[in-house]
């Protein structure tokens, strides 16, 4: 009996020893000395917001005050492949980057990569916006408001051409444009002959971001326009930053057209940016392959109808690029000036002094 009691005490001792060891092990795992998750907000820091093509932009990811770059993922918008934390661009344009760490992510932040042109920098890029509208359309003034807000926030980034359909302002190509871009609801916008957007402020802003980011302006366009004896002469000077085959398109829009029977842009029966006429084919005139650094001139001469109020008219000239399929063309850059007595010079993207 005594031996049995001693045996039981021995088993209890072993059990207590093992339990203590296990608890000690648990305590050690929870002491926070190793493997603890950093606290705080995830943020992405970049060595530069502007950089020349070929320069390196370094990304650092922080969780609170802890550098977690080694275990984070850097994503570029539109690219499923993770980026290196030391990113080097091979072409100009704006890229958007975000960081992902565990279940946290940052918002996308822009970095603009530019190619200096001579001593002045990258050409300023203006996106052409075809706004499909009609005087009968009660929702259309809202898009006019949205595009106006974009112009306030990013001056000069858009050239709006209002394509009216089914009303007194419809042009001879309105229905053709509606069919080509498969417009089934109004209002609608098409950016640079490429991206179609419905009446949504966020989508309009996103479309403009995409157009500005996808590729830089491959040329700059300076204009001088005058009307004499009922005939307009628009002289365009083109500076080429990148060798490419170009087409040039010319069109005229008019502001302040009045019609009392519809939903006007400003609520006062006035309509703005109304497409009056394409001076060229809407796909432009082929001006051939041009070399980087080349500068050339092209002139558009056309009659000005009496019903146009020339003081309210603006002429658009824009460059189109032929795509790889040999048929599709997209707008690359746009310039505008007053039809009578107007001028516009070459514009360049602002490059901060801090840019490397």
What are the 10-residue block averages of pLDDT along the chain, 356 residues in total? 46 46 40 64 90 88 94 87 88 81 90 60 90 95 94 91 95 94 95 93 90 87 96 97 94 94 86 96 93 95 96 97 84 96 90 51
Classify residue 262: in a domain, yes or no.
Answer: yes
Rg of the chain, C-alpha, whole Å: 30
- Measured in whole angstroms, the distance separating CA 111 from the mean position of its chain's CA atoms is 12
Angle at 297 between CA 293 and CA 302, to 5 degrees: 155
Mapping DSSP to helix (H, G, I), strand (E, B) and coil, where does residue 283 land? Answer: coil
- Omega before 209 cis (within 30°)? no
Is 140 found in the same domain as 101?
Answer: no
Distance CA 123, CA 241 (A): 8
Q: What sign has the CA pseudo-torsion 55, 61, 66, 68?
A: negative
Looking at residue 335, which CATH number applies to its domain?
A: 2.60.40.10
Is 203 found in the same domain as 54?
Answer: no
The domain boundary, picked from 114, 139, 162, lies at 114
Is 65 found in the same domain as 155?
Answer: no
The number of distinct structural domains making up the chain is 2
Q: Look at residues 93, 260, 76 and name the one whose alpha carbon lies nearest to residue 85.
A: 76
Answer whether 318's CB lies under 8 Å from 335's CB.
yes
User: What residues have CB less than 8 Å from 150, skipping those under 6 apart?
Assistant: 157, 158, 204, 205, 208
Is 179 found in the same domain as 251?
Answer: yes
Is 204 found in the same domain as 100?
Answer: no
User: What residues have CB less than 8 Å from 72, skipping those under 6 apart?
Assistant: 61, 99, 100, 101
Classify residue 15: in a domain, yes or no.
Answer: no
Is 143 found in the same domain as 267?
Answer: yes
The domain boundary, picked from 84, 114, 144, lies at 114
The HSE-up count of residue 77 (CA atoms within 13 Å, CB side) is 17
In degrees rounded to 5, what are phi and psi of residue 340?
Answer: -110, 110
Q: Which residues span the domain enclosing 255?
A: 127-344
Q: Which two tokens stand for residue 276?
A: 């009056």
Q: Which residues of 128-162 are buried (b: 16+ CB within 10 A; e: fewer)?
A: bbbbbbbbebeebbebbebbeebeeeeeebbbbbb
Classify residue 356: in a domain, yes or no.
Answer: no
Taking the whole predicted model, whether its pTM rises above 0.95 is answered as no
For residue 67, what are the CA distances in angstroms to 32, 103, 194? Answer: 18, 16, 41
Is 168 found in the same domain as 51?
Answer: no
Q: Which two tokens stand for residue 39?
A: 């606290």
Q: Which two tokens stand for residue 190?
A: 């098409």
Distance CA 205, CA 202 (A): 5
Classify residue 73: in a domain, yes or no.
Answer: yes
Q: What is the pLDDT of residue 92?
A: 62
Is 170 found in the same domain as 87?
Answer: no
- Measured in whole angstroms, the distance separating CA 27 from the mean position of its chain's CA atoms is 54
Is 216 found in the same domain as 323?
Answer: yes
For helices 201-214 and 140-153, angle between their N-to-C axes, nearest 10 degrees: 50
Classify residue 241: in a domain, yes or no.
Answer: yes
Q: Which two tokens stand for residue 328?
A: 């599709």
Is 159 found in the same domain as 94?
Answer: no
Classify residue 90: in a domain, yes or no.
Answer: yes
Is 243 found in the same domain as 135?
Answer: yes
- Measured in whole angstroms, the distance separating CA 128 from the mean position of its chain's CA atoms is 12
Q: What is the pLDDT of residue 120?
A: 53
Q: What is the pLDDT of residue 145?
A: 94
Distance CA 75, CA 160 (A): 33
Answer whether 122's CB lies under 8 Å from 349's CB.
yes
Q: What is the pLDDT of residue 93?
A: 66
Classify residue 39: in a domain, yes or no.
Answer: no
């Amino acid at each position: 009996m005594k031996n049995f009691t001693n045996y039981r005490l021995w088993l209890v001792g072993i059990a207590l020893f093992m339990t203590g060891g296990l608890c000690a092990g648990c305590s050690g795992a929870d002491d926070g000395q190793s493997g603890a998750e950093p606290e705080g907000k995830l943020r992405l820091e970049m060595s530069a917001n502007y950089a020349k093509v070929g320069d390196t932009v370094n990304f650092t990811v922080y969780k609170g005050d802890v550098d977690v770059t080694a275990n984070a993922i850097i994503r570029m918008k539109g690219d499923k492949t993770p980026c290196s934390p030391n990113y080097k661009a091979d072409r100009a344009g704006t890229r958007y980057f975000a960081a992902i760490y565990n279940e946290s992510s940052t918002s996308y932040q822009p970095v603009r990569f530019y190619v200096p042109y001579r001593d002045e920098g990258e050409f300023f890029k203006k996106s052409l916006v075809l706004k499909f509208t009609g005087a009968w359309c009660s929702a259309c003034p809202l898009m006019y408001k949205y595009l106006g807000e974009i112009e306030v926030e990013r001056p000069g980034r858009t050239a709006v051409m209002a394509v009216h359909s089914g009303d007194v302002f419809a042009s001879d190509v309105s229905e053709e444009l509606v069919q080509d871009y498969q417009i089934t609801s109004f209002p609608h916008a098409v950016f640079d002959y490429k991206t179609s957007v419905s009446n949504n402020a966020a989508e309009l802003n996103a479309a403009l971001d995409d157009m500005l980011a996808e590729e830089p302006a491959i040329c700059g366009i300076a204009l001088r326009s005058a009307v004499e004896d009922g005939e307009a002469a628009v002289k365009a000077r083109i500076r080429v930053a990148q060798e490419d085959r170009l087409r040039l398109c010319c069109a005229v829009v008019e502001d302040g057209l009045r019609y009392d029977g519809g939903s006007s842009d400003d609520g006062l029966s006035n309509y703005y940016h109304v497409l009056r006429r394409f001076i060229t084919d809407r796909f432009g005139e082929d001006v051939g392959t041009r070399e980087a650094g080349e500068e050339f001139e092209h002139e558009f001469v056309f009659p000005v109808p009496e019903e146009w109020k020339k003081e309210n008219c603006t002429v658009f000239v824009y460059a189109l690029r032929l795509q790889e399929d040999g048929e599709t063309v997209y707008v690359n850059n746009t310039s505008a000036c007053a039809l009578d007595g107007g001028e516009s010079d070459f514009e360049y993207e602002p490059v901060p002094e801090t840019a490397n």
